[in-house]
Chains A and B, each alone.
Chain A
Amino acid sequence: MTLIQETDYGTPASRATETVTLTVDGFAVTVPAGTSIMRAAVEAGIEIPKLCATDMLDAFGSCRLCLVEIEGRNGTPSSCTTPVAEGLVVRTQTERLKKLRRGVMELYISDHPLDCLTCAANGDCELQDQAGVVGLRAVRYGYDGDNHVFPTTRDGADNFKYMAKDESNPYFAYDPSKCIVCSRCVRACEEVQGTFALTIEGRGFGSRVSAGMHESFLNSDCVSCGACVQACPTGTLMEKSVYEIGTPDRSVVTTCAYCGVGCNFKAELRGDELVRMVPYKDGKANRGHSCVKGRFAFGYASHPDRILNPMVRDKVTDPWREVSWDEAFAHVAERFTAIQAQHGVASIGGITSSRCTNEETYLVQKLIRQGFRNNNVDTCARVCHSPTGYGLGQTYGTSAGTQDFDSVEHTDVVIVIGANPTDGHPVFASRLKKRLRKGARLIVVDPRRTDIVRSAHIEADYHLPLTPGTNVAVITALAHVIVMEGLYDEAFIRERCDWDEFQDYVDFVSDLRHSPEALESVTGVDADLIRGAARLYATGGNGAIYYGLGVTEHSQGSTTVMAIANLAMLTGNIGRPGVGVNPLRGQNNVQGACDMGSFPHELPGYRHVSGDEVRDVYEEIWGVPISSEPGLRIPNMLDAAVEGTFKGIYIQGEDILQSDPNTHHVQAGLAAMDCVVVHDLFLNETANYAHVFLPGSTFLEKDGTFTNAERRINRVREVIAPRNGLADWEVTQRLAQAMGLDWSYAHPTEIMDEIARTTPTFTGVSYDLLDEVGSVQWPCNEKAPLGTPVMHIDQFVRGKGRFIRTEYVATDERTGPRFPLLLTTGRILSQYNVGAQTRRTANVIWHEQDILEIHPHDAEQRGIEEGDLVTLTSRAGETTLKATLTDRVSPGVVYTTFHHPDTQANVITTDFSDWATNCPEYKVTAVQVARAAHRSEWQEEYSEHAELSRRIIEREPIHGD
């Protein structure tokens, strides 16, 4: 294994289709028009010396090292900024060029420390390489004059040009003394990340990179995405892990385990020590970019809280007892079998993890269907995107986003509904912002003024700040305007959709009760804004809708998804690049977990269990009858547990006590069960109620695949051996074996082969194919051997697209005198979901606790000031947290995140849920806020209980174990 060095072509690829031919040092090379001479030379196998150029960024032409001579032209132009032309004769290495380059390099080095041997970038420094490349042998100028290198001058006085190292960011350091002012970091922050946190301060020789207005990186707008560190050609911006460990010597390409964007990274290691994660340029979801979580927040894998041995206990009030794997599996098998014997086949079930691989979720649902002999399997998609599955299934015929992320580059009008991509899906947000800066228009539908509404060089044309819970009203009003003003795409609808259903839909949506004016009092959105947004989306060119959990996590979540699908069909925005309906998935493998049959009503590939044909497929290879009845969904399991008919559960990598709504109810359900098996990295909140703990492995410790929000199947590769001894698929397999099942998978590739053999949309997928082409988007089969970037091109999966009436129904969760405010929940860039991983990294520096956002007007009425501890009360429960005053939320609306267990925002959320899927209504809870003197009684009790339930009695090491 070696370190993967990706080719740097110096400038981005040209998209032109016409080609030109030129010669570089006598070699003919043909490239697309618009390509730089620098890039054409690389194509011809010739690397022109360079410092300020890199192919992630537009050409800049400042370093003057990449000079070339062109026959018939004067001077020595920079090859990065000079485009190719037909018949050019370029020379890259002449006496004149050599002399010029050496002179330039000599000047650079005259203001750069010569501590290469002890520099963190030693061996990984382009400046060092280029000094060698140009043959620099001496520097004539010395350091006596002005410099940025030494803190003091030769006579001992302070050197005011010197700036000390900035180590404020937990993950990387900025050492201005090593900066060559190539601007690559500043341009990366602008062009790639789109945050504009960095700039060049000063003029001429005094120029230096500066975070914000000469601030520390931590206090600036920097979002710690790492793009600048990656772009830096010297040791100026460098990962602290490289300072501490040294340079890596091998890399493994794998996929991030945080959000649904699914970025590819090179995990760079020395031995089995992970040095850093570097975004992979060939990653088709991220194209070489990353965010603070995937790039830096992997320290949880080696956190001391990791549980590495299996544990059991008889009662949840007992301390944990460490046992051998065999003992743990035998214990679970014995308990589950006994429960089924006493309470019936349907009295146990399981939850697959959206953080585990496809292969692992496939095995868990297989264990439940083949081993438990029922369909009581669900996944955390229940609480996030189950309405997407239902809504898109009903209208288009399949449960998936229609596009790839590259599609956004062809979009003219973007609608973002109920999503906060700069925090939740940061790498996609960067790609979106790049397109917006190039002129695409933006409509945001969100109760909060999120960063995408207005930030550096981005401003939404329309922000519709709706009252939480009124999505259906707003989207149906948009459709009303499009229909009434005749802006719909009749040709598309006639060809692609059911015309009768469209007529029915027109009758429905034309009614004046759906007009923006009639709904103004319900939605709180100015009717003119809705009319303007509808016109823009219908007439502005390629229109693409991106949505998140602000759409799905409502009583009418499924209806909203259908309303969105209607809107796209109405305007013909389906079936080509640049358009579509794109759910932004929360977790790394939510899409995959759903694809793999994790829902209680369907087998892999979204095929309902009542279908004889699909059951036949699995009955034949699994050798058991499969129940044709739908199983219990997560909330139903908890209900059945309280009722006494559901007694045992196997939970793989999911913390339902923290992530699911109405914590009291989840607690009651878990407490009522006889055998709760938690399979996780840490003793999470759910484990407080567990009888068996099976330690899990991180994404760094196993092979498999994740499927991201674009349906892209990405490889996860074992970077280091599992610290707990077994990869998660092996844990499930050993458990299945203990329960008498005849499983013998030797490697996850065999599991994928079984998936491909049984699932029509996966028949072409294999690890060999993924190793060859990197990744594919399902459907991947005979019809689409390399996958399907855009769906529904000639026809919808279901045949004709189906318009469905979407009547707005107010949620039962209403404000009133006792609970006059509406709470909505969300997340923040630096933390991920319940925080189990990110809270165990240095990311806590950005978000130590959950904070309540409240409008100054509401705060003043309640005597609340910035930073006050407040009580948040709903019909379901009460908690306390600190408040911040902001007009990002409208009066009447408050907002918080759910990353920290001691806040437990879900004590507040109710058990109201989506009508079709039981997806909880996280986004609307009626609450009251008041100043608090101390933490709530419940929080104190909870902390005490959590501490008690985490006691462990360590096992004596057993010989030969």
Chain B
Amino acid sequence: MATETLVRMANQIATFFHSMPEAERAPGVATHINKFWEPRMRAQLFELIDQGGASLDPLVLEAAEQIRRPERVDAR
């Protein structure tokens, strides 16, 4: 998927959780991505995060350690 689209989607999720109480923010983002993002999308997200994730909302980076890193991606 286009990096731009992926970044926009991740940041949109972060934007929603920004308004939540502090303790729910990062876990909220991570749970959402774990529940709804297919491994290919999460792998691509981690590529960005591993490169520093400059374009990502800081909340996404904060949530990263709670996001499941795909073990292997079948379709690649």
Across the two chains, which residue of chain A brings its CB closest to B21?
A: A504
Could you tell me if B39 and A643 are in contact, using CB atoms closer than 8 angstroms?
no
> How far is A642 from B36 in the complex, measured between Cα atoms in Å?
20
**Contact of A805 with B19 at beta-carbon distance under 8 Å, contacts A344-B74, A640-B40, A640-B75 already known:** yes
A636 beta carbon closer than 8 Å to chain B? yes
Could you tell me if B20 and A805 are in contact, using CB atoms closer than 8 angstroms?
yes
**Contact of A645 with B75 at beta-carbon distance under 8 Å, contacts A639-B1, A639-B5 already known:** yes
Query: Most A CB atoms within 10 A — which of B2, B16, B18, B34?
Result: B16
Q: B74: which A residues are within 8 A, CB to CB? A: 344-347, 374
Contact of B16 (CB < 8 Å), options: A346, A374, A636, A916:
A916
Contact of B15 (CB < 8 Å), options: A504, A631, A809:
A809
Could you tell me if B35 and A636 are in contact, using CB atoms closer than 8 angstroms?
no
A508 beta carbon closer than 8 Å to chain B? yes
Mark out the residues of chain A between 341 and 356 whose CB falls within 8 Å of any chain B CB in the assembled complex: 343-347
Could you tell me if B75 and A345 are in contact, using CB atoms closer than 8 angstroms?
yes
B69 beta carbon closer than 8 Å to chain A? no
Contact of B38 (CB < 8 Å), options: A343, A555, A632, A913:
A632
Could you tell me if A630 and B40 are in contact, using CB atoms closer than 8 angstroms?
no
> How far is A943 from B40 in the complex, measured between Cα atoms in Å?
35
Query: Most B CB atoms within 10 A — which of A558, A600, A629, A642?
Result: A629
> How far is A508 from B18 in the complex, measured between Cα atoms in Å?
13
Q: A199: which B residues are within 8 A, CB to CB? A: none
Contact of A915 (CB < 8 Å), options: B5, B15, B41:
B15
A911 beta carbon closer than 8 Å to chain B? yes
Q: A911: which B residues are within 8 A, CB to CB? A: 5
Could you tell me if B1 and A643 are in contact, using CB atoms closer than 8 angstroms?
yes
Could you tell me if B1 and A636 are in contact, using CB atoms closer than 8 angstroms?
yes
B18 nearest CB across to chain A (Å): 7
Could you tell me if B38 and A559 are in contact, using CB atoms closer than 8 angstroms?
no
> How far is A374 from B74 in the complex, measured between Cα atoms in Å?
10
**Contact of A555 with B12 at beta-carbon distance under 8 Å, contacts A346-B40, A911-B5 already known:** yes
Which size class do B's interface residues fall under?
20 to 34
B22 nearest CB across to chain A (Å): 11
Could you tell me if B75 and A636 are in contact, using CB atoms closer than 8 angstroms?
no
A807 beta carbon closer than 8 Å to chain B? yes
Mark out the residues of chain A between 663 and 688 whose CB falls within 8 Å of any chain B CB in the assembled complex: none
Could you tell me if A631 and B38 are in contact, using CB atoms closer than 8 angstroms?
yes
A601 beta carbon closer than 8 Å to chain B? yes
Could you tell me if A639 and B2 are in contact, using CB atoms closer than 8 angstroms?
yes
Bits for B45-56, please: 1 = Cβ < 8 Å to A, else 0: 000000000000
Q: B20: which A residues are within 8 A, CB to CB? A: 805
> How far is A701 from B45 in the complex, measured between Cα atoms in Å?
46
Could you tell me if B35 and A630 are in contact, using CB atoms closer than 8 angstroms?
yes
Which size class do A's interface residues fall under?
35 or more
A918 beta carbon closer than 8 Å to chain B? yes
B13 beta carbon closer than 8 Å to chain A? yes
Bits for A622-646, please: 1 = Cβ < 8 Å to B, else 0: 0000000111110010011011011
Q: A559: which B residues are within 8 A, CB to CB? A: 16
**Contact of A629 with B38 at beta-carbon distance under 8 Å, contacts A346-B74, A347-B75 already known:** yes
Q: B75: which A residues are within 8 A, CB to CB? A: 343-347, 640, 645-646
Q: B18: which A residues are within 8 A, CB to CB? A: 807
Contact of B36 (CB < 8 Å), options: A601, A643, A805, A807:
A601
Could you tell me if B76 and A344 are in contact, using CB atoms closer than 8 angstroms?
yes
Mark out the residues of chain B between 1 and 18 whose CB falls within 8 Å of any chain A CB in the assembled complex: 1-2, 5, 8-9, 12-13, 15-16, 18
Q: A128: which B residues are within 8 A, CB to CB? A: none
Query: Most A CB atoms within 10 A — which of B13, B38, B40, B41?
Result: B38
Q: A918: which B residues are within 8 A, CB to CB? A: 9
Mark out the residues of chain A between 593 and 651 whose CB falls within 8 Å of any chain B CB in the assembled complex: 600-601, 608, 610, 629-633, 636, 639-640, 642-643, 645-646
Query: Most A CB atoms within 10 A — which of B12, B34, B37?
Result: B12
Could you tell me if A807 and B19 are in contact, using CB atoms closer than 8 angstroms?
yes
> How far is A375 from B73 in the complex, measured between Cα atoms in Å?
14
> How far is A809 from B15 in the complex, measured between Cα atoms in Å?
8
Q: B13: which A residues are within 8 A, CB to CB? A: 915-916
**Contact of A629 with B39 at beta-carbon distance under 8 Å, contacts A346-B74, A915-B16 already known:** yes
Mark out the residues of chain A between 21 and 57 whose CB falls within 8 Å of any chain B CB in the assembled complex: none
A71 beta carbon closer than 8 Å to chain B? no
> How far is A639 from B20 in the complex, measured between Cα atoms in Å?
30
> How far is A631 from B21 in the complex, measured between Cα atoms in Å?
30
Mark out the residues of chain A between 891 and 916 whose CB falls within 8 Å of any chain B CB in the assembled complex: 911, 913, 915-916
A812 beta carbon closer than 8 Å to chain B? yes
> How far is A630 from B31 in the complex, measured between Cα atoms in Å?
12
Q: A913: which B residues are within 8 A, CB to CB? A: 9
Contact of A916 (CB < 8 Å), options: B8, B32, B70:
B32
Across the two chains, which residue of chain B brings its CB closest to A914?
A: B12
Across the two chains, which residue of chain B brings its CB closest to A555?
A: B12
Q: A631: which B residues are within 8 A, CB to CB? A: 38
Mark out the residues of chain A between 464 and 484 whose CB falls within 8 Å of any chain B CB in the assembled complex: none
Q: A344: which B residues are within 8 A, CB to CB? A: 73-76
B23 nearest CB across to chain A (Å): 11
Could you tell me if A608 and B1 are in contact, using CB atoms closer than 8 angstroms?
no
Could you tell me if B35 and A601 are in contact, using CB atoms closer than 8 angstroms?
yes
Could you tell me if B35 and A608 are in contact, using CB atoms closer than 8 angstroms?
yes
Contact of B40 (CB < 8 Å), options: A375, A601, A645:
A645
> How far is A347 from B70 in the complex, measured between Cα atoms in Å?
16
B56 nearest CB across to chain A (Å): 15
Could you tell me if B35 and A812 are in contact, using CB atoms closer than 8 angstroms?
no
> How far is A629 from B36 in the complex, measured between Cα atoms in Å?
9
Could you tell me if B8 and A812 are in contact, using CB atoms closer than 8 angstroms?
yes
B73 nearest CB across to chain A (Å): 8
Could you tell me if A640 and B1 are in contact, using CB atoms closer than 8 angstroms?
yes
Q: A555: which B residues are within 8 A, CB to CB? A: 12
Contact of B76 (CB < 8 Å), options: A375, A630, A636, A645:
A645
> How far is A915 from B8 in the complex, measured between Cα atoms in Å?
9
B37 nearest CB across to chain A (Å): 7
Across the two chains, which residue of chain B brings its CB closest to A804?
A: B20
Could you tell me if A508 and B5 are in contact, using CB atoms closer than 8 angstroms?
no
B20 nearest CB across to chain A (Å): 6
B60 nearest CB across to chain A (Å): 12
Q: B21: which A residues are within 8 A, CB to CB? A: 504
**Contact of A632 with B76 at beta-carbon distance under 8 Å, contacts A559-B16, A807-B19, A911-B5 already known:** no
Across the two chains, which residue of chain A brings its CB closest to B16?
A: A915
Q: A601: which B residues are within 8 A, CB to CB? A: 35-36
Could you tell me if A508 and B19 are in contact, using CB atoms closer than 8 angstroms?
yes
B24 nearest CB across to chain A (Å): 9
Q: A558: which B residues are within 8 A, CB to CB? A: 16
Across the two chains, which residue of chain A brings its CB closest to B6?
A: A639
Q: B41: which A residues are within 8 A, CB to CB? A: 636
Q: A343: which B residues are within 8 A, CB to CB? A: 75
Across the two chains, which residue of chain A brings its CB closest to B72?
A: A344
Q: A504: which B residues are within 8 A, CB to CB? A: 21
**Contact of A636 with B15 at beta-carbon distance under 8 Å, contacts A344-B75, A911-B5 already known:** no
**Contact of A630 with B15 at beta-carbon distance under 8 Å, contacts A344-B74, A345-B75 already known:** no
> How far is A805 from B24 in the complex, measured between Cα atoms in Å?
12
> How far is A642 from B2 in the complex, measured between Cα atoms in Å?
9
Could you tell me if B15 and A600 are in contact, using CB atoms closer than 8 angstroms?
no
> How far is A643 from B32 in the complex, measured between Cα atoms in Å?
24
B9 nearest CB across to chain A (Å): 7
Q: B9: which A residues are within 8 A, CB to CB? A: 913, 915, 918
> How far is A636 from B5 in the complex, measured between Cα atoms in Å?
10
> How far is A563 from B5 in the complex, measured between Cα atoms in Å?
26
Given contacts A555-B12, A629-B70, 19 further A-B contacts (CB under 8 A): A343-B75, A345-B75, A375-B38, A504-B21, A601-B36, A610-B34, A629-B39, A630-B35, A630-B37, A632-B40, A633-B38, A639-B2, A640-B40, A805-B20, A807-B16, A807-B18, A809-B15, A812-B8, A915-B13
The 4 closest A-B pairs by CB, nearest first: A807-B19, A639-B1, A915-B12, A344-B74
15 residue pairs of the A-B complex, CB under 8 angstroms, read A344-B74, A344-B75, A345-B74, A346-B73, A346-B74, A346-B75, A375-B38, A555-B12, A600-B38, A601-B36, A629-B39, A631-B38, A645-B76, A916-B13, A916-B16
